[in-house]
């Protein structure tokens, strides 16, 4: 394990952008994790006397329409966004992987059924399906997670299926079958481990999209609601004060942008690391 980190570290040193992304991401994760312990003002403390104050020493990012400290709300917003996106990607990838690997391995009717089902989900632009589901499920953190997971699992199912198709003909799988290893163990111990790297890369990069979509849902009034500090919801209120309070939309948006950018840079690095074949494509 130590050797792995050392190798990763040396490799990262040659890729300053990926390293910077990883460092910024780590910093955001720590901020989110320890937000309640930080010397910040209460993100919920309303003070109408202090509403819409521009950035100052007391409020480095200004205050919102209810006089709450923006800095504190932006930091606490990281908790919501990261939590939602991690759970969404975990649910969607585990479910999608299970379905995709099984369908790809067995082929035939199971495969056909899965492909047609994913066709249906992929016929919608993601955000729009999430919007319809979120309207039905109502507001809140859990409905948001469910809506986004429903939108995302087909991508993992397709990816896992193509991996399973690739590996099921491999000699070692053939050998395991010949030895009479039960099917579920072949799937678990041979197909799954070999299919994992592209799925991990996809999951990492999807974290960024999950954050963007979570923010988009709450921006249009679905998903996470006031008074929970969430970046998209803050932007939704902030846009009403666009002409008078520039800081209101600037900082929550900057937080989303920085986080997603860090994830994308780190994710690209991880992809190149796990799959050297993509390196020469130079994309």
Partner 1 sequence: MARYIVKRLALLTITLLGVLTLTFFVSHVVPGDPARLAAGVRARPEQVEALRTRLGLDRPLWQQYGRYIAGVVRGDLGESIRTRRPVSADLAEYFPATVELTVFAMVLCLLIGIPFGIISAVKRESVIDHVSRVAATAAVSMPTFWLGLLLQLLFFRWLQILPATGRLGFYLSPPAHATGLYVVDSLLSGNWTALGDSFVHLILPGAALAASSIAVITRMTRSSLLEILSLDYVRTARSKGLAEKVVILKHALRNALLPSLTVIGLQVGVLLAGAVLIEVVFSWPGIGLYAVQSITFVDFQAILGVTLITAIVYSGVNLIVDVLYGVIDPRIHY
Residues 249-268 close enough to bind partner 1 by CB under 8 A: 249-250, 253, 256-257, 260-261, 263-265, 268
220 belongs to the binding site for partner 1 (CB under 8 A): yes
221 belongs to the binding site for partner 1 (CB under 8 A): yes
Residues 190-219 close enough to bind partner 1 by CB under 8 A: 208, 212, 215-216, 219
The Cα 180–Cα 199 span in angstroms is 28
The Cα 135–Cα 19 span in angstroms is 39
Q: Point out which span in 95-103, 133-141, 156-164, 180-188 binds partner 1 (CB under 8 A).
A: 133-141
Residues 56-75 close enough to bind partner 1 by CB under 8 A: none
277 belongs to the binding site for partner 1 (CB under 8 A): no
178 belongs to the binding site for partner 1 (CB under 8 A): no
DSSP 8-state assignment for residue 280: G
27 belongs to the binding site for partner 1 (CB under 8 A): no
Size of the site for partner 1 (CB under 8 A): 47
Task: Give the number of other Cβ atoms within 10 Å of residue 236's Cβ.
Answer: 20
52 belongs to the binding site for partner 1 (CB under 8 A): no
Q: Are 102 and 184 a contacting pair, CB within 8 Å?
A: no
Q: Are 246 and 52 a contacting pair, CB within 8 Å?
A: no
Three-state DSSP class for residue 237: helix
The Cα 253–Cα 180 span in angstroms is 56
Backbone torsion region of residue 217, taken as left when φ is above 0, otherwise alpha when ψ lies between -120 and 50, otherwise beta: alpha
Q: Point out which span in 40-48, 84-92, 186-194, 275-283 binds partner 1 (CB under 8 A).
A: 275-283
β-bridge mates for residue 63, sequence order: 69
Task: Give the number of other Cβ atoms within 10 Å of residue 282's Cβ.
Answer: 5
Find the shortest distance in angstroms from Cβ 222 to partner 1: 6
237 belongs to the binding site for partner 1 (CB under 8 A): no
| Positions in the binding site for partner 1 (CB under 8 A) | 116-117, 119-121, 123-129, 131-133, 135-137, 208, 212, 215-216, 219-222, 232, 235, 238-239, 242-243, 246, 249-250, 253, 256-257, 260-261, 263-265, 268, 281-283
């Amino acid at each position: 394990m130590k050797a792995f980190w050392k190798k990763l570290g040396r490799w990262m040193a040659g890729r300053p952008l990926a390293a910077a992304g990883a460092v910024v991401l780590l910093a955001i994760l720590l901020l989110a994790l320890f937000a309640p312990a930080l010397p910040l003002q209460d993100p919920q403390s309303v003070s109408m006397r202090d509403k819409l104050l521009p950035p100052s020493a007391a409020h480095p990012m200004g205050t919102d329409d209810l006089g709450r400290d923006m800095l504190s709300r932006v930091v606490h917003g990281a908790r919501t966004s990261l939590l939602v996106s991690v759970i969404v990607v975990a649910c969607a990838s585990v479910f999608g992987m299970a379905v995709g690997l099984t369908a790809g391995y067995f082929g035939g009717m199971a495969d056909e059924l899965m492909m047609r089902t994913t066709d249906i989900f992929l016929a919608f632009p993601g955000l729009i399906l999430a919007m319809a589901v979120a309207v039905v499920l109502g507001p809140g953190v859990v409905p948001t997670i469910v809506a986004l997971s429903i939108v995302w699992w087909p991508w993992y199912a397709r990816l896992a299926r193509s991996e399973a198709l690739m590996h099921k003909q491999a000699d070692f799988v053939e050998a395991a079958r010949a030895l009479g290893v039960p099917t579920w163990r072949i799937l678990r111990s041979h197909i799954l481990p070999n299919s994992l790297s592209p799925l991990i890369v996809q999951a990492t990069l999807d974290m960024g999209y999950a954050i963007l979509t979570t923010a988009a849902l709450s921006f249009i009034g679905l998903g996470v609601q006031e008074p929970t500090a969430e970046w998209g919801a803050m932007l939704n209120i902030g846009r009403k004060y666009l002409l008078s309070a520039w800081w209101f939309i600037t900082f929550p948006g900057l937080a989303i942008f920085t986080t997603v950018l860090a994830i994308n840079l780190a994710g690209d690095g991880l992809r190149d690391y796990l799959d050297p074949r993509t390196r020469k494509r130079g994309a």
